[in-house]
A and B are shown apart, each in its own frame.
Chain A
Amino acid sequence: MGPKKPVDLEPTVLVKSLHVGFAGREVLHNLNAKFNRGWLAVVLGRSGSGKTTFLRALNRLNECFPRSATRGSLKLKLQGEWRDIYRNAMPLPELRRRVGMVFQTPHLLPGSIADNLALPVKLVLGVPRRNIASRVEWALEEAHLWDEVKDRLNAPAHTLSGGQQQRLCLARLLALEPEILLLDEPTASLDFRAALKVEELLLSLKERYTIIAVSHSLSQARRLADEALIFRDGSVVQRLSREDLQAPDTLQALLEEIF
């Protein structure tokens, strides 16, 4: 399968001179970026380069941390409309539902596998009780998890393996009908085989969503990315296309840049 470029890319995320700081220390400086629907972007960089902070800026989760401050413009195209999310374009819960996030380690809710999906579907979407089961099944199918868990939906969620838990978290997002997916090193806590399964899943989802994934693995970026952004000290220092990522000499330069 050669590199293929969709004819018309639909931009959905526009970041202009974004600054984010905590307690007076700036983490992101003057960051500019653009992301598209149907396009999987991978963010690479050393730890501490601001990758996670950047993701959390997109669903305003940085505000859960003490003394965070955000400046600049961050526009998302949600429901077909451009919205500047730091100008109160949308209530926070609604924004976070539409811009879903998966963390480095699986962040489970208390309760069973079914609870993990049913609770948000019921609370956030207000889906009537009789429709919840079918939605849960649909989301688990989407996350390639249904066959593995259909016989033990009422088992505690933490009895799943790490990879299954992470796919459960993805299923939980998908059940909420998001438009943008933020993935913060989603395979960091998984072994190689489980990581490959998650990667497969992401590739199967990317047509329909805007996906921004942070990764610490260059080889993963080469497998997944339509585009890679290299972060250093809180700004984007380089953008690489899929072709760039495959070329051996850029690879060498990248290795030195990142690691």
Chain B
Amino acid sequence: MIKKITYLAQACSWLAVLTTVGMILLFLGFLGVRGFDTINPTLFFGNTPPWGAIIGRLPVWHGIWPACVGTVALVLLSSLLAIPLGLASGIYLAHYASGAWKRWFSLAVEVLAGIPSIVMGLFGFALILSLRKTVAPQANTCLLLSAGCLALLVLPYLILMTQTALEALPDELRQAGLSLGFTPWQNMVHVLLPVAGRGILSGVILAVGRAAEDTAVILLTGVVANSGLPSGILDKYEALPFHIFFLAAEARSDAELAQGFGAALILLILTAALFLGAYYLKSTFTKTWDQKNLSI
């Protein structure tokens, strides 16, 4: 009887794994088949000469290059805003907060995690409206506003992953450093954070992925269908997810729809590249950490 249940459980877990992997392969295959053929310089730059487009001298009309640049800029800017804040909050929650403060702060993080992205977009939109009516009449939706709202959106992932990774460390690791005479800060920087690095990195990856794919927030805070390369963080910009959404909803020909699939594939590749970048950063951090401390 027990043997039968074990077999059944094994079969079920295999089925679950195969289903997941199968769905992913199916999805990638579908996107590949529909999008792969469209990946060529024309997809990126339309009829503009590529070099002129890349250095931004010539405007691109029918390509996704400005959207790619916009998305990368958006993700980098929102990471820049969110990662330090998220790490700091996670560290605070895991090691310094206690009692009522910790409860209230955790509640706030949970509430923030529960906010739908469209509401975050509305918040950004309302913020600009109120700014226009009060202190800054020229304020407008822009790259910075989108990045700020996206940072708010991904902040809870970073906080929770940092907090969980730090709290999961064994007590003895904390005591080891302190008993040797490390200050709490030295213990955090040289012992706890490096060990918790993997967990924190998965928070960063989640956040980056979320920031790259979100459409609802940017829809209301500054993205447009056609603006060329963003000329600054206070400028309108294009972004891949919005471009895909726009093409899917309003494609006027099969070629445009195909371009949508191509753009989706590029977004996927871009996100994967950002993940790899995050891994690379982490491994260099670990390496410099080793070198700094080895010293012999």
Residues of A within 8 A of B (CB): 59, 61, 64, 66, 93-97, 100-101, 103, 105, 107-112, 114-115, 118-120, 122-124, 129, 132-133, 136, 153-154, 172-173, 176
**Does B190 touch A at the CB level, under 8 Å?**
yes
**Does B173 touch A at the CB level, under 8 Å?**
yes
**Does B176 touch A at the CB level, under 8 Å?**
yes
A176: which B residues are within 8 A, CB to CB? 180-181
A112 CA / B289 CA spacing, docked (Å): 12
A176 CA / B179 CA spacing, docked (Å): 11
Question: Which of B177, B181, B182, B190 gathers the greatest number of chain A CB atoms within 10 Å?
Answer: B181
B186: which A residues are within 8 A, CB to CB? 123-124
New A-B contacts (12) at CB < 8 Å, excluding given A108-B176, A119-B190: A93-B183, A95-B181, A96-B180, A96-B181, A107-B173, A107-B175, A112-B294, A123-B190, A133-B295, A153-B296, A176-B180, A176-B181
> Looking at the complex, which one of A96, A114, A123 makes contact with B178 (CB distance below 8 Å)?
A96
Which partner residue on chain B sits nearest A105 by CB separation? B172
A124: which B residues are within 8 A, CB to CB? 180-182, 186
Q: Determine if B179 and A118 form an interchain contact, defined as CB atoms under 8 angstroms apart.
A: no
Count of inter-chain pairs, beta carbons less than 8 A: 81
A97 CA / B182 CA spacing, docked (Å): 8
Between-chain CB contacts (< 8 Å), 22 pairs:
A94-B181, A96-B180, A96-B181, A97-B180, A103-B176, A107-B176, A108-B176, A109-B176, A109-B191, A110-B194, A110-B195, A111-B294, A118-B294, A119-B293, A120-B181, A122-B293, A123-B190, A132-B295, A136-B296, A153-B296, A172-B180, A173-B180
A143 CA / B190 CA spacing, docked (Å): 24
A214 CA / B294 CA spacing, docked (Å): 33
Which partner residue on chain A sits nearest B179 by CB separation? A101
A120: which B residues are within 8 A, CB to CB? 180-182
Within 8 A of A (CB), among B81-104: 98
A1 CA / B149 CA spacing, docked (Å): 77
